[in-house]
Structure 1
Amino acid sequence: MSGTPLPSALEVREVVEGLLGREVDVLTGGPMVDPAGPGGAVVAEYISDQMQLAAIIVVDVPFAARAGAAIALMPSRASEEDVAAEEISDVLLENASEILNVMASLFNVEGAPHLRLNAVHAPKAALPVDVAPWVMAYVPRLDLECDVSGYGTGGMSVLVLQS
């Protein structure tokens, strides 16, 4: 069995587009999404069947709000209010959490350990001590700028802790 693979930007785009049912442009080389930055970030932790933290996806409030609105077919103005306030409503956070749950499929390839979503941490929430040091670490990672057609842009960082 090999380690958990870092998905490509194309794989991330295909999963997000499939979920949202709309075009998503993904650019590599975006800034690292920092949960300590303005507005915070939504942090999803993925664990193996052995209960070991193996991957993390961090999305900024603009991406979480815009993707959360898009998946529910809500008007874009619903997400723009959250983006302007640098916070995310419970409804949009729940929708973003569903997207992050399905994104576990990015890590589950043949020969790699099975990963599942363990927890989603809301923006500005204290991160567990086993998660916090990793979100800005220089580990295998993909830092993306994602533009959801009709909704706008946001940032995403995908990190693999075991390779």
Structure 2
Amino acid sequence: MSLPHRKQIKDLFEGLLGRDVAVGDGSPVTLETPRPVVATYVDDAHRLTTVVLMDQALAAYAGAALALVPKGAAEDAIADKMLPPNLFENSAELLNVLAAPIGEASGVHQRLLETYAPSDSVPPQVEAHGATLGAREDVELDIAGYGRGALSVVVVA
């Protein structure tokens, strides 16, 4: 199964946020504190295919940019290491739409199964897949007018 290209990720974020987004190399997002937003995707047979981790900075900035919330609210969330429900819901919506480029890259229809907030317990199987160093794309996204954060897309073998 293939990973979405960086251009697909960039285009998705730019299209939904209505802002320029720069994409570059990133480090793997981990499940350490501050915990990321985690999303799981399944195919039509309901098999887990992909795990995506969005660090708290990207979740806050992207969530704020999506709803035109001032940058300061995202910065406060990052400083407090707490993602407010409205920013989580907005970042979860971005992750829902990310199913399309994941499916396009893999050639298999994908849908979002679950999104876990930083305060949620993540199943051990999902944690293990998220930590896999194999087939993954780790990027840093810089949202114009807001800030930067990291995203990791991990293919489940």
Common fold by TM > 0.5: yes
> Is it true that 1:89 corresponds to 2:84 in the alignment?
yes
| Deviation of 1:57 (Å) | 1.0
Structure-2 separation of matches of 1:67 and 1:114: 25
| Deviation of 1:31 (Å) | 1.0
Matched residue, 2:23: 26
The answer (yes or no) to whether the contact 2:4–2:105 under 8 Å persists in 1 is no
| Deviation of 1:111 (Å) | 7.5
| Deviation of 1:25 (Å) | 0.5
Matched residue, 2:69: 74
| Deviation of 1:110 (Å) | 8.0
Per-residue CA deviation, residues 53-80 of structure 1 (Å, 9 max, x unaligned), is: 1011100110000000000011111111
Matched residue, 1:109: 104
Between the two proteins, what is the percent identity of the paired residues? 36
Structure-2 separation of matches of 1:71 and 1:161: 28
**Structure 2 unaligned regions, length at least 5:** none
Structure-2 separation of matches of 1:150 and 1:35: 27
Structure-1 separation of matches of 2:6 and 2:64: 22
Structure-1 separation of matches of 2:85 and 2:133: 31
> Is it true that 1:7 corresponds to 2:4 in the alignment?
yes
The answer (yes or no) to whether the contact 1:66–1:151 under 8 Å persists in 2 is yes
The TM-score normalised by the length of structure 1 is 0.92
Distance 1:65-1:130 versus aligned 2 partners, 3 A rule:
same
* Secondary structure class of the residue paired with 2:111: strand
**Structure 1 unaligned regions, length at least 5:** none
The TM-score normalised by the length of structure 2 is 0.95
Structure that is richer in helix per residue = 2
| Number of residue-to-residue matches in the alignment | 157
Amino acid at match of 1:107: I
| Deviation of 1:34 (Å) | 0.6
Per-residue CA deviation, residues 10-66 of structure 1 (Å, 9 max, x unaligned), is: 1111111111010001102x1110112x31100000011111110111001100000
The answer (yes or no) to whether the contact 2:40–2:113 under 8 Å persists in 1 is yes
Amino acid at match of 2:76: E
Q: How does 1:1-163 map to 2 (within 5 A)?
A: 4-28=1-25, 30-36=26-32, 38-109=33-104, 112-162=107-157
The answer (yes or no) to whether the contact 1:139–1:161 under 8 Å persists in 2 is no
Runs of 4+ more than 3 Å apart: none
Structure-1 separation of matches of 2:43 and 2:36: 23
